[in-house]
Amino acid sequence: MLKSIFINRYTMTFTVTIVVALLWNLFILFNDSGILSGRVVDRNNQPVADARVVLSEKTLLVTAPRDEVKTDQNGYFRFEGHRLYHLYLEAMKGDARSSSSREVRLYFKGQNKKLKEPLVLGSDR
Partner 1 sequence: MHRYPHWPFHVTLSTICALMLVPFIWVLKTSLTGENIFTYPPSVLPQDPHLFYYVDVWYTIPFFRYLVNSFLVSLIVVVANIVFNAMAGYALTREFIGKKAIIILFLSCMMIPFQVTIIPAYLITKELGLLNTHLGMALPVMSTIVCIFVFKASFDAVPRSLIDAARIDGLPDWKIIFKVMVPLSQSAIATNIILAFIWSWNNFLWPLVIIRDQHMQTLPLGLSRFLTVVEDTTGALYAFCIMVLIPGLVIFLLAQRQFIAGLTTGAAKG
Interface positions with partner 1 (CB under 8 A): 9-10, 13, 59-61, 85-86, 105-109
CA 77 – CA 54 distance, rounded (Å):
11
Q: How far is the CB of 14 from partner 1 (least distance, A)?
A: 10
- The pairing of strands 97-98 and 63-70 is unpaired
Minimum CB distance to partner 1 smaller for 86 or for 97: 86
CA distance 41 to 116: 12
- Residue 111 per-residue DSSP state: -
| CA atoms of 69 and 38, how far apart (whole Å) | 12
User: Closest separation between CB of residue 60 and partner 1, Å?
Assistant: 5
Nearest distance in Å: CB 18, partner 1: 12
| CB nearer to partner 1: pick between 61 and 96 | 61
